[in-house]
Amino acid sequence: MCNGLYQTSQNEIENTRLLLQISYERCNQLVNTNNQLFGIIAAICIGLITFLGTAYFTSTDPNRYYVIILAIQVICFTLLAWRFYAHIIDNDIVSAYKKILDCENKLNVNLELSLIQSLGKIMKIDDNPLYANKPLEEKYRIIRNLINRNKGGYRYHDILDHLGTGLISIAFVIQFAIFCRPPIQLQFFEYLTFLIIIPSVYCVIFFYFLEKDSVCIVPIQRDPSDNDLLSVFSEFVIPLKKF
């Protein structure tokens, strides 16, 4: 029996298994990339902080605070770029999840071995009665629909976003404290730029893009709420079938 262009049922099964293997490998590669990125950013920030301390406490140049300003701006930009790039990678990971789910469903993978078992816990809906009491077929549809809505779970990225926000806030507090110490003399536009405008821009970027999704430049995967689950169920208007 042919299910596609010159493709037998056995060929389809083998192709699905191959795609499943490739998707798992891709997913693991992206996870490792994200983990390595965290280590790289930590090393960069530690190096910049060391440089900042050395430049300020060992130099006698009265204008040495400009070096500190530069170091702080680089740290803040690095942290911001890290969080956005980490979410881009995370979106690719979630896309790989969708392919894995499709393949596992077609291959009738045992529930205990399936990714859907882990995704229920990652997305924090495993114990939710709106999800837990559903048959396996419907769970596949629910998970897939939630992923399409960028509700694939945080996987600790919310904690890392808050960590980035906290570090940037600390950096600007240090900058403010340094500026308030004599004999630093800055022009009005320099105070306005470094103490008000730039910190405000970073706050707006973190709040609107990473916290509130007001402008969806980079989709952020979040934990689904009960309302999200109810919205998914409202779309199930046809009998459930394997996708």
**157-193 pLDDT, tens digit each:** 988 988 888 888 888 888 777 777 666 666 777 777 7
154: Cβ contacts below 8 Å, ≥ 6 apart: 221, 222, 223
Three-class SS of 196-233: HHHHHHHHHHHHHHHHCCCCCCCCCCCCCCHHHHHHHH
Give a yes or no: residue 177 inside a domain: yes
Q: What is the pLDDT of residue 4?
A: 53
Residue for token pair 């006698």: 60
User: What is the number of domains present in the chain?
Assistant: 1
Q: Is residue 135 domain-resident?
A: no
Residue 76 lies in a domain: yes
What percent of the chain has pLDDT above 90?
Answer: 21
Band of pLDDT at residue 239, cut at 50, 70 and 90: very low
pLDDT at residue 1, rounded to an integer = 47
Q: What are φ and ψ of residue 95, in 5° steps?
A: -65, -40
pTM, entire model: 0.82
pLDDT at 34: 92
Most confident stretch, 195-199, 215-219, 238-242: 195-199
Instruction: In whole angstroms, give the CA distance from residue 210 to residue 202.
Output: 11
Residue 96 has pLDDT above 90, yes or no: yes
Residue 41 lies in a domain: yes
Q: Which pair of structure tokens corresponds to residue 219? A: 């989709």
pLDDT greater than 70 at residue 229: yes
Residue 138 lies in a domain: no
Per-residue model confidence as pLDDT tens digits over 5-32: 556 777 888 889 999 999 999 999 999 9
| Percentage of the chain exceeding pLDDT 70 | 87
Structure tokens that stand for 129 in this block: 């009665």
- Residue 238 pLDDT greater than 50, yes or no: no
Is 226 among the domain residues?
A: no
**What is the pLDDT confidence band of residue 95, given thresholds at 50, 70 and 90?**
very high
> Residue 50 belongs to what domain range?
13-109+156-220
- Residue 240: what pLDDT? 44
Look at residue 149 and tell me if it is in a domain: no
Q: What is the pLDDT of residue 213?
A: 60
Which range among 54-68, 69-83, 160-174, 202-216 shows the weakest confidence by mean pLDDT?
202-216
Q: What is the mean pLDDT of the chain?
A: 81
Report yes or no on 64 lying in a domain: yes
Q: Indicate the burial class of 174 (C-beta count within 10 angstroms; 0-12, 13-18, 19 or more).
A: middle
